[in-house]
């Protein structure tokens, strides 16, 4: 493409994935200083939230809040069959919405919890209950809510899930809450045995946010599962050709919008022994190359 990618997307990175070892405030400063990025996806900074907010206000970055760590760390499940357990997950998401608002985010993203086949339908209803409550509260704060689609049987084993099931869930949510959307990630397509075209076309009416990255889906290989290694990692499923295809499908389905650009964030993280800044530079180069190879 001859035109800049920044015309059509707000290019971002997931802070806690890009910099898992560096002090969060230092990595925040690094991203704020890097004019390659138009957006940042972050979690809270605890007692340093006010300091972080001041940096973000200076930066002109679009702020996105990821509540996935709030659930994954303590193993909370927003679709838990046990109502007390479900409410614990809902409570942390409501707290996350408050923190997102404080940090200047426009929305909050999260993921579904694990499920069992015999209770799948009940889990679906529990997830609807949680998501509707979060959406209702978020709406009072002027926030959007996004559910990220994950694998259903490989690593995270999340209820949502394959693209058709995510589309059903999104349709049910949109029937009651217009501030709900779906976040899709190229990294997850190999883990759900789906293609970019199938996922994007299936979820097109509901997609409000996009990620890209890599995954190793060959069993017994290093980095197997939902670990987001760098682009081109040995035995990985995604590199520049897959990213070109992803961008091509997004364009064909109408997601290149200069007036209201979507956030397109890289979600990669270093493997043991790798350098955080080099892996981030690798990802920028992969994106730049893919964009250069995309036909005008």
Residue-wise pLDDT tens digits, 38-50: 999 999 999 999 9
% of the chain surpassing 90 pLDDT: 100
166 band by pLDDT with thresholds 50, 70 and 90: very high
Pinpoint the alpha helices (H) of 23-145: 24-33, 49-59, 68-72, 83-103, 120-140
User: Which of left, alpha, beta for 228 (phi over 0: left; psi -120 to 50: alpha)?
Assistant: left
Secondary structure class of 63 (helix, strand, coil):
strand
15 band by pLDDT with thresholds 50, 70 and 90: very high
**Summary mean pLDDT of the chain:** 98
Residue 143's pLDDT is what? Answer: 98
* Tens of pLDDT, residues 218-249: 999 999 999 999 999 999 999 999 999 999 99
For 180-199, the DSSP string reads: EEEEEEGGGTGGGT--HHHH
* Tens of pLDDT, residues 95-131: 999 999 999 999 999 999 999 999 999 999 999 999 9
Can you tell me the mean pLDDT for 51-65?
98
Backbone angles phi, psi at 12, to 5 degrees: -135, 180
Cα dihedral sign for 183, 242, 229, 150? positive
Residue 115 DSSP symbol: -
Contacts of 219 (CB under 8 A, 6+ apart): none
Measure CA 256 to chain center.
18
Residue 51's pLDDT is what? Answer: 98
- Which two three-digit tokens encode residue 177? 């809450």
86 band by pLDDT with thresholds 50, 70 and 90: very high
Residue 149 DSSP symbol: P
Residue 153 DSSP symbol: S
Q: pTM of whole model > 0.85?
A: yes
Does the N-terminal peptide bond of residue 281 adopt cis geometry, omega within 30 degrees of 0? Answer: no
Secondary structure class of 248 (helix, strand, coil):
helix
CATH number assigned to the domain with residue range 5-293, chosen from the 4 options 3.40.50.620, 3.40.50.300, 3.20.20.150, 3.30.930.10: 3.20.20.150
Residue 294's pLDDT is what? Answer: 98
């Amino acid at each position: 493409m001859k035109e800049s990618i920044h015309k059509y997307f707000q290019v971002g990175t997931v802070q806690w994935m890009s910099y898992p070892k560096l002090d969060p405030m230092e990595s925040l400063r690094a991203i704020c200083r890097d004019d390659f990025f138009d957006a940042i996806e972050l979690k809270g900074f605890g007692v340093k939230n006010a300091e972080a907010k001041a940096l973000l206000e200076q930066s002109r970055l679009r702020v996105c809040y990821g509540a996935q760590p709030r659930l994954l760390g303590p193993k909370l499940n927003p679709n838990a069959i046990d109502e007390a357990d479900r409410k614990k997950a809902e409570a942390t998401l409501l707290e996350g919405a408050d923190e997102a608002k404080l940090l200047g985010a426009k929305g909050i993203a999260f993921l579904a919890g694990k499920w069992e086949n015999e209770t799948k339908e009940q889990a679906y209803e529990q997830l609807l209950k949680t998501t509707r409550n979060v959406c209702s509260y978020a709406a009072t704060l002027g926030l959007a809510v996004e559910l990220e689609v994950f694998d259903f049987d490989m690593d995270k084993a999340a209820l949502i899930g394959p693209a058709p099931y995510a589309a059903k869930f999104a349709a049910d949510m949109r029937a009651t809450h217009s501030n709900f959307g779906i976040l899709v990630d190229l990294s997850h397509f190999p883990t759900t045995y789906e293609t970019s075209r199938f996922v994007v076309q299936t979820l097109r009416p509901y997609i409000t946010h996009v990620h890209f990255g890599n995954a190793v889906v060959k069993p017994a290989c290093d980095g197997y599962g939902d670990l987001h290694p760098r682009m081109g990692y040995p035995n990985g499923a995604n590199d520049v050709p897959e990213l070109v295809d992803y961008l091509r499908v997004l364009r064909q389905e109408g997601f290149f919008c200069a007036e209201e650009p979507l956030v397109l964030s890289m979600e990669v993280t270093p493997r043991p022994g790798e350098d955080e800044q080099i892996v981030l530079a690798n990802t920028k180069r992969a994106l730049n190359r893919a964009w250069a190879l995309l036909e005008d």
